[in-house]
């Protein structure tokens, strides 16, 4: 039995990506209480995906740099989510990070970013 199936989550985890990137569109961003402590975090719904993406501070800054500081402006924009490793509490742990899609054009240098639908690629077939 796969240990990830023992404790299913409604939130996206690094293991859900199976080592690959996912080019996704942000459908909505809400603030939710997360975890035992009930800390408030932004959580994105992603177009066509069942699991939601809890956006940590590092990823909030990245998305803010790409699409502006107002989360309402993120709706309809594309990002790439990818699994990597970070150090947390003195141990290496799997995490998710965000980067711009390949066709992203920085608004400050080229007017507007192109963030409409793109051709489907193998990363779009990840079932989360």
At residue 45, the pLDDT reads 98
Token output for 115: 């963030």
| Domain containing residue 101 | 9-106
Tens-digit pLDDT profile for residues 42-83: 999 999 999 999 999 999 999 999 999 999 999 999 999 999
pLDDT score at 27: 98
pLDDT at 127: 64
How would you class 20 by CB atoms within 10 Å of its CB: exposed for 0-12, middle for 13-18, buried for 19 or more? middle
Question: Does 118 map to a domain?
Answer: no
Establish if 56 belongs to a structural domain: yes
Would 117 be classed as within a structural domain?
no
pLDDT at 115: 53
pLDDT at residue 98 is higher than 50: yes
Torsion angles phi and psi, residue 38, rounded to 5: 70, 30
Domains of the chain: total? 1
pLDDT, position 117: 47
Domain-embedded: residue 26: yes
Q: Which two tokens stand for residue 44?
A: 């994105």
**Stated pTM of the model:** 0.80
Question: If phi over 0 gives left and psi between -120 and 50 gives alpha, with beta otherwise, what is residue 2?
Answer: beta
Q: Is residue 20 part of a domain?
A: yes
Cα distance between the two ends of the chain = 18
* CATH number of the domain where residue 70 is located: 2.40.50
Q: For residue 45, with 0-12 CB atoms within 10 Å meaning exposed, 13-18 middle and 19 or more buried, which class applies?
A: middle
93 within some domain:
yes
User: Is residue 112, in this structure, part of any structural domain at all?
Assistant: no
Evaluate whether 79 touches 14 at the Cβ level (below 8 Å). Answer: no
Averaged pLDDT, 89-110:
87
């Amino acid at each position: 039995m796969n240990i990830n199936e023992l404790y299913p989550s409604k939130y996206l985890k690094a293991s859900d990506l199976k080592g690959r990137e996912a080019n996704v569109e942000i459908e909505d961003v809400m603030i939710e209480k997360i975890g035992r402590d009930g800390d408030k975090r932004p959580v994105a719904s992603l177009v066509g995906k069942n699991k939601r993406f809890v956006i940590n501070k590092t990823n909030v800054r990245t998305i803010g740099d790409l699409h502006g500081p107002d989360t309402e402006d993120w709706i309809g924009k594309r990002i790439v989510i990818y699994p990597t490793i970070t150090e947390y509490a003195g141990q290496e742990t799997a995490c998710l990070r965000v980067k711009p899609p390949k066709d992203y054009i920085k608004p400050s240098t080229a007017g507007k970013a192109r963030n409409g639908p793109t051709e489907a690629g193998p990363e779009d077939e990840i079932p989360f």
